[in-house]
């Protein structure tokens, strides 16, 4: 099934001409239409806008590593062409004036912004509508609940999330996908609603480590760093975990148990000479 392709496989097929972005995005949208009512992974989805981006990608030469590949974006991350409601009814009509730096980066690499994934309100405790795709009685974990559930349910191959305490690795464990949390200050937080800036990090949800490396290579190429942190050349040790998708029932006020395996991986940092910002805060 096309919608079950990893981002790496999809990108390779698109480059070779064996797959079009329109076919891939259409398959993902069909999966969303079939499952979204039960799973509730998406805060905002505009099929016409997604297909317009895909058609543009198919008409043009490759722009980068993610050309034609759809990605989900957590709803606290700004997108110029979609609402960013921060998981709150208060900001339901909020329209950012520009993309977050991480969104600008993947767009520049050819990615298709498929839609905005559900977050807990303000990336804090109030849960959204998302349920665990493996068992709808269970929690997907938070706060990056929609991103984890959407990737786990084959609605999208990759998605952005964020973490202050465990908002990436917990939903990754609950939903049985890979969750990547970068080192502090390694990836730009420009355009991402802050919770605790000294602890906030951007991250990635995917169904393979290769896909995480693929997305992680894009900000490195575009030299994105946090505007408030001193940029230096260093090694970057990160947590990459894959859960087994088991959790307890979603009971408000109770913590769900989960089981996950994890390992550390080392990815190269980029030199100081390449550090700059590409988007205002």
Q: Which residues are catalytic?
A: 74, 143, 167
Report the distance separating Cα 242 and Cα 204, nearest Å.
12
Report the distance separating Cα 33 and Cα 189, nearest Å.
31
Report the distance separating Cα 200 and Cα 215, nearest Å.
19
Six-digit token pair at 258? 């989960």
Query: What secondary structure letter does DSSP report for 129?
Result: S
Report the distance separating Cα 151 and Cα 70, nearest Å.
11
Six-digit token pair at 33? 């239409």
Report the distance separating Cα 120 and Cα 99, nearest Å.
21
User: Cis omega (within 30 of 0) on the bond before 143?
Assistant: yes
Six-digit token pair at 44? 């905002």
Which residues neighbour 213 within 8 Å (Cβ) at sequence distance 6 or greater? Answer: 267
């Amino acid at each position: 099934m096309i919608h079950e392709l990893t981002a790496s496989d999809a990108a390779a097929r698109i480059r070779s001409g064996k797959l079009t972005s329109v076919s891939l995005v259409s398959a993902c949208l069909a999966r969303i239409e079939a499952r979204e009512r039960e799973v509730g992974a998406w805060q905002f989805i505009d099929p016409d806008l997604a297909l317009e981006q895909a058609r543009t990608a198919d008409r043009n030469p490759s722009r980068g590593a993610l050309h034609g590949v759809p990605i989900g974006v957590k709803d606290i991350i700004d997108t110029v062409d979609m609402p960013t409601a921060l998981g709150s009814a208060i900001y339901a009509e909020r329209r950012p004036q520009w993309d977050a730096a991480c969104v600008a980066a993947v767009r520049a690499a050819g990615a298709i912004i498929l839609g905005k994934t559900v977050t807990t309100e303000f990336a804090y405790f109030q849960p959204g509508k998302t349920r665990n795709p493996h068992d709808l009685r269970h929690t997907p974990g938070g706060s990056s609940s929609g991103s984890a559930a959407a990737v786990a349910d084959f609605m999208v191959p990759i998605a952005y999330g964020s973490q202050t305490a465990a908002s990436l690795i917990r939903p990754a464990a609950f939903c049985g996908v890979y969750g990547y949390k970068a080192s502090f200050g390694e990836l730009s937080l420009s355009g991402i609603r802050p919770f605790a800036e000294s602890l906030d990090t951007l991250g990635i949800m995917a169904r393979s480590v290769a896909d995480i490396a693929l997305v992680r290579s894009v900000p490195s190429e575009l030299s994105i760093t946090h505007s408030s942190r001193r940029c230096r050349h260093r090694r970057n040790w990160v947590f990459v975990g894959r859960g087994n998708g088991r959790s307890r029932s979603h009971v408000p006020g109770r913590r769900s148990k989960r089981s996950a395996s994890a390992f550390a991986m080392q990815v190269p940092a980029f030199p100081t000479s390449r550090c700059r910002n590409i988007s205002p805060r």
